[in-house]
Amino acid sequence: MSTNDAVLTCEVAEHVMQVTINRPDARNAVNADVAQGLERAVTVTERDRNTWAVILTGAGDKAFSAGADLKAISAGSVSGLSTKAGGFAGFVHQPRTKPWIAAVNGFALAGGTEIALACDLIVAVEEAVFGLPEVKRGLLASSGGLYRLPRVLPKAIALELIMTGAYFEAKRAFHYGLISRLVPRHQLMPEALRLAMAICENAPLAVRASLGVARQAYDLDDEALREASELASGKNAETEDYKEGPRAFIEKRAPRWTGR
């Protein structure tokens, strides 16, 4: 299936949905149309049984997303940049069970960094730049950046970036673990796809259940996480794929996952 509009494109193949913010002339900045489109994209990917992983990127070769569209803000359209279900960009707070990979093709600044941080993994080009420069304009990175960045970077590095608003180049971000894979520009989408396909080789329900527990690792103590793991494992044991994995191993063949 595929969908296309002026600001967002979605296309799925081989269980991987690619979602593209399509405003290259505006450095893929978020306006109301992008926010509504991304919220719809999450809904579509969650409902589509054929989608097992999602790649999110920006059109063109300059920016993943420059964050909030300043023209929209100056026109008094701040509220339109968020949705009730998803928060900023219709995305950063929206519940998702499936893995999302940010394929960062250039600048990912302010809200752009926060969108990338809301994904589960980041693949980036060597020229990519991240940053939360909101404090330089008297603002706060209030769409997840202030707590997600310290979760993935050493405390001193994260706090320095938050308080100075300095840019964070991709090679340094990769060194500190913000980025999963760093590649030359021509390899960005092939590498993001390889990563997505590696995920899709596994039982999709087991991946989602595992991811659901792992996402809570920073929020819950060990006892609560153990309970969450046991609950997820019990539910997974009721699936058809739970039986298919061992059966395929015994029969010495590749498993045929159904997502059921």
Amino acid at site 181? R
Distance CA 183, CA 180 (A): 10
Instruction: Give, for 168, the enclosing helix (H) or strand (E).
Output: strand 167-169
Distance CA 7, CA 218 (A): 34
Distance CA 104, CA 37 (A): 19
Distance CA 117, CA 119 (A): 5
- Which residues lie below 8 Å from residue 237, measured CB to CB, with a gap of 6+? none
Other CB atoms within 10 A of residue 52 CB: 27
Residue tagged active-site, from 11, 39, 46, 114: 114
Q: For residue 134, indicate whether it is catalytic.
A: yes
Contact between residue 232 and residue 224 where contact means Cβ atoms under 8 Å apart? no
Query: What is the token pair recorded at 94?
Result: 């929206």
Q: What is the CA radius of gyration of the chain?
A: 19
Distance CA 260, CA 248 (A): 16
Contact between residue 111 and residue 90 where contact means Cβ atoms under 8 Å apart? no
Q: For residue 114, indicate whether it is catalytic.
A: yes
Residue tagged active-site, from 134, 169, 191, 238: 134
Active site members? 114, 134
